[in-house]
Structure 1
Amino acid sequence: YLSDARVLALNSYENRVYQVGIEDETPLIAKFYRPDRWSDAAIREEHSFTFELAECEVPVVAPLVRDGETLFEHAGFRFALFPRRGGRAPEPGNLDQLYRLGQLLGRLHAVGSLRPFAHREALQVSNFGHESLATLLDGNFIPRSLLPAYESVARDLLKRLDALFAANPVKAIRLHGDCHAGNVLWTDDGPHFVDFDDSRMGPAVQDLWMLLSGERDEQQAQMTEILAGYEDFAEFDPRELHLVEALRTLRLIHYAAWLARRWDDPAFPAAFPWFNTQQYWQARILELREQIALMDEAPLVA
């Protein structure tokens, strides 16, 4: 490919992603992977999963292949090239769109359940929860005056999550892993999934709950539509609905730890200047206390 020197940085913090103009052709997307974040084998496994999905006509954006390879290196930086596929986010709460997304996720999970990942991290309480909390406590990010309150509520929640996951063993399959509205782009031809960076082994409901929005009754109606579409193509274990608030809790703790782990990257203090402020951690404590209350509520139903 011959670039026309038009390069546009796209909104990405974990990696560096650019739209690169190509002479007389549609621009490409170049993703430069964060050093030491993934092994080569893990990245190639992610790429292979997207090809497997594409072969089964699941709408994903798979990397470009050259000489049988999808992962390249320049000046010590690993990168992959992708076709540019734009689109808009789904409309929050649109039941027709959620039914369609449920169908596509059922197809995605039907493929994902065929075999496990060998090189990619699984979603577990140990890594998303306990290791994340250790990162926050060891890094002096939480103001001293708020540290006891945050540590107490987080440890209480993780104890509950350990018990919940132990009491509700569910099948782990290959997932998208970060299936929120920003990673589903809609065009006139329908939706497609992007950004499989966080693809991992985990319960199917992990790819469903982040599509929910609004109050409890709205979320129930949305989940009903998602599952109606999903079960056109794959079975869903209704016991997994007990894990929705647990998975939300893990995401909250893990996200704070992700910011902490990246704080040495100059892009992060510039983009998230509120991270180590008193107000931020007060809000996180309240958020986790609210999770305790939400976990005490009856789960959504299938």
Structure 2
Amino acid sequence: MNEQILPESFAGLSPELVLDAVDSCGMYCDGRLLALNSYENRVYQVALDDQAPVIAKFYRPQRWSDPAILEEHQFVQELVAQEIPVVPALEGANGETLRQFLGYRFALFARQSGRAPEIGDAATLEWLGRFIGRIHAVGAIKPYQHRPAIDINTFGVEPRNWLLQHDFIPPDLLQAYQSVSQQALDGVARCYDRAGDVALIRLHGDCHMGNVLWLDTGDQAGPHFVDFDDSRMGPGIQDLWMLLSGSRQEMQSQLTDILVGYEDFFEFEPRQLYLVEALRTLRLLHYSTWLAQRWTDPAFTTAFPWFNTQRYWQDRILELREQVALMDEPPLWPV
């Protein structure tokens, strides 16, 4: 029997518990349960009697505080109020969006279908830009109080320090990693110095193509933004650079198309272009530590078998060396 305490892991999150948790919200399951592709949290599609399925997201224990989760829910509700296509947490009978069952915290969402956007299409990128601009216009109204910012400390210094204090990097590569990661942080600092005082706003935070679903027909045709779980304070370019790919020329063209739509609703500070490679570098540093900190979770050892191998750390060292060079190159456009 599950103890009535806050769990430290997902070990006790059985299929029966998931179904019972959804049942406890007055939504009666028909027994069908589909685990969806998520590692940070546990996410399931739950079939209901005589209703459309719902998505149940069980939050990773010990990650976010309740106030941090609730203010993310509130931000998404603010976007819904402005008719921006996002997927909010469903409210319970008393208006609650964060629910608990046997110590596990979870939220329910309507199922949203869609395909990946066509990033090679200028009209699609402009459409994406318009809605990201609208998200940022709402995000700039007020700050988060309980969520940290994406910056050199939270995504660079702190993850690097944690990693160096634990036994993940092979001893023969440790000195090389220490050196190149410090060079990378120095490069990030130079990029931030060039950018100057850039405004921080509430962001999606993880706005890659996997978190954008595209509908081709109907009243809701176009992009739908999902999974604001990584939403934080940060510079607006954070939600734009992850949409860029390919050669420098291709990224310049993609960013041009995105900003055509974006600036219809929110002003873009060109100085943020100094931060594109810096933010990419911080994401790389943060990602390795994110994997390491969750390595006791069986889902991670199964999904990422290549992590913590000699080859993995060799590749990360080479990757950071490349980023050190890229951060000293001119921005995508003259600033």
In the alignment, the residues of structure 2 paired with residue 105 and residue 255 of structure 1 have an alpha-carbon distance, to the nearest angstrom, of: 24
Aligned 8 A contact 1:133 1:257 in 2: yes
Give the deviation of 1:166 after TM superposition: 4.0
In the alignment, the residues of structure 2 paired with residue 296 and residue 91 of structure 1 have an alpha-carbon distance, to the nearest angstrom, of: 31
Give the deviation of 1:270 after TM superposition: 1.2
Report the counterpart of residue 10 of structure 1 in structure 2. 36
Aligned 8 A contact 1:186 1:192 in 2: yes
Give the deviation of 1:92 after TM superposition: 3.2
Pair member with larger Rg: 2
Residue type of the partner of 1:114? I
CA-atom RMSD, angstroms?
1.0
Give the deviation of 1:195 after TM superposition: 0.3
1:48 aligns with 2:74: yes
Gaps of 5+ in 2: 1-26
Report the counterpart of residue 220 of structure 1 in structure 2. 252
Percent identity of paired positions between Structure 1 and Structure 2 = 62
Report the counterpart of residue 173 of structure 1 in structure 2. 201
In the alignment, the residues of structure 2 paired with residue 224 and residue 150 of structure 1 have an alpha-carbon distance, to the nearest angstrom, of: 36
Which stretch shows the higher mean deviation, 201-210 or 145-154?
145-154
- The superposition leaves residues 94-134 of structure 1 with CA deviations (integer Å, 9 ceiling, x where unpaired) of 22211110000110000000000011111110110011111
1:89 aligns with 2:116: yes
Give the number of aligned pairs: 302
In the alignment, the residues of structure 2 paired with residue 241 and residue 138 of structure 1 have an alpha-carbon distance, to the nearest angstrom, of: 33
Give the deviation of 1:214 after TM superposition: 0.7
Query: Within 5 Å, which residues of 2 pair with 1:151-230?
Result: 151-167=178-194, 168-188=196-216, 189-230=221-262
- The superposition leaves residues 78-99 of structure 1 with CA deviations (integer Å, 9 ceiling, x where unpaired) of 0000000011111233222111
Gaps of 5+ in 1: none
1:147 aligns with 2:154: no
Residue type of the partner of 2:41? N
State which of 291, 309, 318 in structure 2 corresponds to 1:277: 309
SS at match of 2:52: strand
Report the counterpart of residue 286 of structure 2 in structure 1. 254
1:233 aligns with 2:260: no
1:300 aligns with 2:332: yes
Report the counterpart of residue 83 of structure 2 in structure 1. 57
Query: Within 5 Å, which residues of 2 pair with 1:23-34?
Result: 23-34=49-60
Report the counterpart of residue 80 of structure 1 in structure 2. 107
TM-score by length of 1: 0.98
1:19 aligns with 2:36: no
Give the deviation of 1:157 after TM superposition: 1.2
Aligned 8 A contact 2:187 2:324 in 1: no
In the alignment, the residues of structure 1 paired with residue 267 and residue 197 of structure 2 have an alpha-carbon distance, to the nearest angstrom, of: 16
State which of 300, 320, 332 in structure 2 corresponds to 1:288: 320
State which of 126, 130, 151 in structure 2 corresponds to 1:103: 130
In the alignment, the residues of structure 1 paired with residue 120 and residue 188 of structure 2 have an alpha-carbon distance, to the nearest angstrom, of: 28
SS at match of 1:145: helix
Aligned 8 A contact 1:177 1:199 in 2: yes
- The superposition leaves residues 51-103 of structure 1 with CA deviations (integer Å, 9 ceiling, x where unpaired) of 00010011100010011100000010000000000111112332221111000
Which stretch shows the higher mean deviation, 175-184 or 263-272?
263-272
Residue type of the partner of 1:112? G
